[in-house]
């Protein structure tokens, strides 16, 4: 029976590949550029979108997805502010973006419509406030969620359809899987008694007072911790469910995780790391005693978030939490190859800059 199943699957492979090829050919030969967005709306364009506007807050997320496709190089593109505080990645790889003004993240629907763009790309969270109103004005727009890997798996192919480049969309997902699959395989081999407890916290400071927040269960940060084979100790504790929620030190002490991963999205993590290690209160925690409070990596964007470089964050986290299982993984090589494969970035100086920023961001962990 097993032999029959093997041969049945073997004979199905060419059929499936042929079907995929036919689907790609059908899309390429269509007179329309058509896809379904994250809010379930089907957008049909009669011409390839050339003048493209990325609008609204969190515009760096759909911009990340768009820049994975070679078509972006020929687009007349306008972005909102995409610098989270660590540098603007998009103008770094395409300096001409600095030659025209950015659109305000809080731009009105009327201002967005006045740009007369072929396509407005935005986060799905702006559906009610922007997208529906643009529909009423007849402005073509497309939303993306991109908060989880499942979202990326669903939405990258749809963006590929809209650009008539499903081959590149499939390639992007394959590139992710090449890096993800070995981690999932290793995680599956970690027994329950071997699993380390991990806490990911985002640092913030108000009125010279440090505070820390935890992510919702459904967000990528939680998925990342579990995907590497660790126990996400904060799971179930964020009742807000739609954003980061402040957590008390008493609760962190009660969890007493093996590893604490410190995230800072707008400033370097050094200050928070130093504050924790110099605190008599925090010194009672196992992670502090064992030097396992670790600053998360970044270049111009932090890797522990649902931007395209989340896969680098996942690889780094796996290596940091389970170093003996990933001794052969060289993260500097992974960073360089990521930008070559995903963004077709080949300029040695730019690659060196990004790798240098990554190395600088994690150097604090060895002090």
Assign residue 336 the CATH number of its domain.
3.40.50.1980
* Contact (CB, 8 A) for 311 and 338: yes
| Domain annotation covers residue 360 | yes
User: Which residue, of 145, 164, 183, is where some domain finishes?
Assistant: 164
Q: Are both 46 and 160 inside the same structural domain? A: yes
Q: Are both 160 and 198 inside the same structural domain? A: no
Could you give the CA distance from residue 16 to residue 363 in angstroms, rounded to a whole number? 47
Could you give the CA distance from residue 220 to residue 38 in angstroms, rounded to a whole number? 17
Query: Quick one: pLDDT at residue 270?
Result: 85
Could you give the CA distance from residue 360 to residue 86 in angstroms, rounded to a whole number? 12
Query: Quick one: pLDDT at residue 14?
Result: 56
| Domain annotation covers residue 284 | yes
Token readout for 332 is: 């500097």
Q: Which residues of the chain have pLDDT under 50?
A: 1-2, 6, 16-17, 19-20, 22-23, 27
**Of residues 32, 30, 31, 82, the one with CA closest to residue 60:** 82
Q: Are both 131 and 231 inside the same structural domain? A: no
Token readout for 220 is: 């990528």
Q: Are both 209 and 343 inside the same structural domain? A: yes
CB atoms within 10 A of CB 288: 16
Quick: pLDDT tens for 252-290: 999 999 999 999 998 888 889 999 999 999 999 999 999
**Of residues 333, 361, 334, 339, the one with CA closest to residue 351:** 339
DSSP codes joined into one string, 241-268? -SS-EEE-HHHHHHH--SEEEEE-SSS-
| Domain annotation covers residue 197 | yes
* Contact (CB, 8 A) for 69 and 77: no
Q: For the chain, how far is it from start to end, CA to CA, in angstroms?
A: 59
* Contact (CB, 8 A) for 269 and 205: no
User: Which residue, of 164, 180, 204, is where some domain finishes?
Assistant: 164
Token readout for 215 is: 């992510």
Query: Quick one: pLDDT at residue 16?
Result: 45
B/e letters for 130-155, b = 16+ CB within 10 Å, e = fewer, are bbebbeeeebbbbbbbbbbbebbeeb
Q: Are both 158 and 288 inside the same structural domain? A: no
Q: Which domain holds residue 68?
A: 32-164
Q: Are both 341 and 203 inside the same structural domain? A: yes
- Domains in the chain, number: 2
DSSP codes joined into one string, 184-212? HHHHHT--GGGPPEEEEEEEEEETTEEEE
| Domain annotation covers residue 180 | no
Quick: pLDDT tens for 153-193: 999 999 999 999 999 999 999 999 999 999 999 999 999 99
Q: Are both 197 and 328 inside the same structural domain? A: yes
Query: Quick one: pLDDT at residue 367?
Result: 76
Maximum Cα–Cα distance across the chain: 69
Could you give the CA distance from residue 312 to residue 170 in angstroms, rounded to a whole number? 19
Q: Are both 70 and 117 inside the same structural domain? A: yes
Q: Are both 41 and 95 inside the same structural domain? A: yes
* Contact (CB, 8 A) for 331 and 315: yes
The phi and psi torsions of 81 (rounded to 5 degrees) equal: -65, 125
Q: Are both 47 and 140 inside the same structural domain? A: yes
Token readout for 323 is: 């170093």
pTM (two decimals): 0.90
| Domain annotation covers residue 182 | no
Q: Are both 159 and 207 inside the same structural domain? A: no
| Domain annotation covers residue 54 | yes
Q: Are both 160 and 218 inside the same structural domain? A: no
Query: Quick one: pLDDT at residue 3?
Result: 53
| Domain annotation covers residue 1 | no
| Domain annotation covers residue 309 | yes
């Amino acid at each position: 029976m097993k032999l029959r199943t093997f041969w049945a699957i073997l004979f199905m492979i060419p059929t499936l590949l042929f079907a995929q090829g036919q689907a790609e050919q059908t899309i390429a030969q269509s007179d329309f550029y058509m896809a379904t967005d994250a809010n379930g709306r089907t957008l049909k364009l009669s011409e390839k979108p050339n003048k493209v506007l990325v609008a609204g807050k969190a515009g760096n997320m759909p911009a990340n997805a768009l820049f994975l496709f070679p078509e972006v190089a020929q687009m007349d593109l306008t972005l909102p502010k995409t610098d989270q505080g660590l540098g603007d990645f998009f103008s770094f790889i395409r300096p001409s973006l600095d030659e025209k003004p950015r659109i305000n993240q809080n731009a009105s629907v009327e201002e967005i419509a006045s740009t007369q763009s072929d396509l407005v790309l935005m986060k799905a969270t702006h559906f009610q406030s922007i997208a529906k109103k643009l529909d009423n004005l007849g402005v073509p727009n497309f939303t993306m969620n991109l908060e989880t890997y499942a979202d990326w798996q669903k939405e990258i192919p749809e963006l590929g359809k809209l650009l008539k480049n499903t081959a590149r969309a499939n390639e992007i997902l394959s590139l992710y899987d090449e890096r993800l699959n070995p981690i999932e395989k290793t995680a599956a081999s970690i027994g329950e008694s071997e699993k380390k407890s991990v806490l990911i916290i985002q640092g913030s400071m108000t009125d010279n007072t440090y505070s820390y927040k935890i992510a919702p269960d459904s967000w990528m940060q939680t998925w990342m911790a579990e995907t590497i084979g660790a126990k996400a100790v904060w799971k179930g504790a964020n009742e807000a469910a739609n954003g980061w929620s402040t957590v008390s030190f008493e609760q962190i002490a009660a969890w007493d995780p093996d590893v604490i991963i410190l995230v800072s999205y707008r400033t370097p993590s050094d200050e928070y790391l130093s504050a924790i290690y110099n605190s008599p209160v925090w010194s009672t925690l196992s992670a502090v005693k064992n030097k396992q409070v670790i600053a998360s990596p970044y270049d111009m964007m932090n890797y522990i978030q649902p931007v395209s470089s989340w896969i680098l964050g996942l690889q780094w986290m796996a290596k940091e939490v389970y170093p003996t299982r990933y001794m052969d993984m060289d993260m500097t090589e992974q960073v360089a190859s990521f930008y070559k494969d995903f963004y077709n970035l080949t300029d040695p100086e730019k690659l060196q800059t990004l790798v240098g920023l990554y190395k600088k961001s994690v150097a604090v962990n060895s002090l």
